[in-house]
């Protein structure tokens, strides 16, 4: 069975070329950018992984989760909890363990939430995420509201993650690996089944697809990939706190996915970079008279997102595709 394609599942040649140029720029950036901007780009790449994990649910499967930050924070806390004050821990067991813990939490939560639909699914994911948030917030062993420090980045053995440039390229490889994996998954029988569930779940069930199992598998995988992003975030920042699991973090990643364009994972990368760039732009706006413009960055960001949704409902990638289309050519 062939599911109806999301408008941007297949990337046009022009967009592929633009993304290749962007990849080349990211590869060369450490040689021209300062340490400050390198760290900023690392943060954007980590958030791009986080956004791609949500895009698997929201853009491919049609499940809008308001609690996705829980798995992001769980993996970050897992790294912080197992890292002793005086020495690093091995990357090769802590990374799979953190992702596995995040995936296991998603599996347990998903077992209950994927039985619901629509607004009920959204609210139940939010409720579970708030439960996880307050379990951490009130737990003194996990630092309570103050969080935990991570004094050392994980020890990779063959390469030194304490080196900022090495960590930059490690994060870039992780982002590319997640993108390639999810693109292959998108066009696999499993991915086509998820797309079919998004378009018409009742029809998919009628022809023999067990939608519960497919949605639960997608939910679990998305949680594990969010865990990868959370692990990298903790390793880069050296600190985790309950805010990583907060509602605002889930809301931000939803906006990233919408901003870039849903259903193809490249849009999640573009959306994460665009969101963070615009966030810094709005925060640095100069004062006008006695009005502190930069303090009200949430207002400007909200207006920007609304404008994108109104004038580019398929996100920035969809807008780029439309502007680059030949006159008279039909929309994809």
Confidence grade of residue 332 (pLDDT, cut at 50, 70, 90):
very low
Classify the C-alpha dihedral 157-158-159-160 as positive or negative.
positive
Q: Which residues, 6 or more positions from 63, have their beta carbon under 8 angstroms from its beta carbon?
A: 57, 114, 121, 215, 218, 219
Confidence grade of residue 330 (pLDDT, cut at 50, 70, 90):
very low
Nearest to 182 by CA among 285, 277, 269, 307: 269
Above pLDDT 90, what percent of the chain? 75
Separation CA 25–CA 28 (nearest Å): 5
Mean pLDDT, residues 63-73 taken together:
95
Nearest to 99 by CA among 137, 42, 139, 154: 154
pLDDT score of 132: 94
Tell me: pLDDT of 67 over 70: yes
Asked if 96 and 231 count as a contact pair (C-beta separation under 8 A), the reply is no
pLDDT score of 188: 94
Classify the C-alpha dihedral 168-172-177-178 as positive or negative.
positive
pLDDT score of 7: 44
Q: What are phi and psi of 303, to 5 degrees?
A: -65, -35
Confidence grade of residue 292 (pLDDT, cut at 50, 70, 90):
confident
- What does the radius of gyration of the chain's CA atoms come to, in whole angstroms? 20
Confidence grade of residue 1 (pLDDT, cut at 50, 70, 90):
very low
Q: Give 157-206 pLDDT, tens digit per residue.
A: 899 999 999 999 999 999 999 999 999 999 999 999 999 999 999 999 99
CA 248 to chain centre: 13
Q: Give 88-128 pLDDT, tens digit per residue.
A: 999 999 999 999 999 999 999 999 999 998 899 999 999 99
Nearest to 67 by CA among 22, 17, 20, 108: 108
Kind of pairing, strands 239-240 and 148-149? antiparallel
Separation CA 176–CA 23 (nearest Å): 9
- If you average pLDDT over every residue of the chain, what do you get? 91
Tell me: pLDDT of 5 over 60: no
Nearest to 174 by CA among 33, 53, 40: 53
C-alpha angle 10/254/284, rounded to 5°? 110
Domains, the chain, with CATH or none: 13-324 (1.10.3470)
């Amino acid at each position: 069975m062939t599911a109806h394609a999301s408008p941007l599942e297949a990337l046009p040649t022009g967009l592929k070329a633009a993304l290749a140029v962007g990849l080349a720029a990211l590869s060369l950036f450490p040689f021209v950018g300062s340490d400050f901007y390198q760290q900023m780009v690392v943060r954007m790449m980590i958030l791009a992984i986080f956004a791609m994990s949500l895009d698997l649910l929201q853009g491919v499967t049609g499940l809008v989760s308001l609690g996705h930050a829980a798995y992001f924070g769980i993996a970050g806390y897992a790294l912080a909890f197992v890292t002793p004050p005086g020495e690093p821990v091995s990357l090769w067991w802590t990374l799979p363990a953190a992702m596995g813990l995040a995936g296991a939490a998603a599996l347990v939560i998903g077992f209950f939430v994927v039985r619901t639909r629509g607004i009920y699914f959204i609210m139940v994911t939010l409720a579970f995420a708030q439960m996880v948030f307050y379990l951490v917030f009130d737990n003194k062993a996990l630092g309570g509201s103050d969080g935990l420090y991570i004094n050392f980045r994980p020890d990779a053995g063959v390469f030194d993650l304490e080196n900022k440039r090495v960590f930059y390229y490690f994060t870039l490889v992780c982002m590319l690996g997640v993108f390639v994996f999810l693109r292959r998954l998108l066009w696999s029988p499993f991915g086509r089944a998820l797309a079919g569930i998004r378009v018409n779940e009742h029809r998919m069930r009628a022809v023999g697809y067990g939608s519960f199992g497919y949605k639960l598998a997608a939910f679990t995988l998305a949680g594990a990939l969010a865990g990868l992003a959370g692990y990298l975030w903790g390793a880069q920042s050296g600190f985790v706190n309950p805010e990583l699991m907060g509602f605002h973090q889930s809301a931000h990643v939803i906006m990233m996915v919408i901003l870039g364009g849903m259903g193809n994972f490249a849009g999640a990368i573009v959306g994460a970079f665009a969101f963070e760039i615009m966030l810094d732009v709005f925060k640095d706006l100069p004062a006008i008279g006695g009005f502190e413009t930069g303090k009200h960055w949430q207002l400007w960001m909200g207006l920007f997102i609304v404008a994108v949704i109104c004038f580019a409902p398929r996100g920035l990638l969809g807008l780029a595709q439309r502007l680059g289309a030949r006159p008279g050519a039909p929309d994809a």
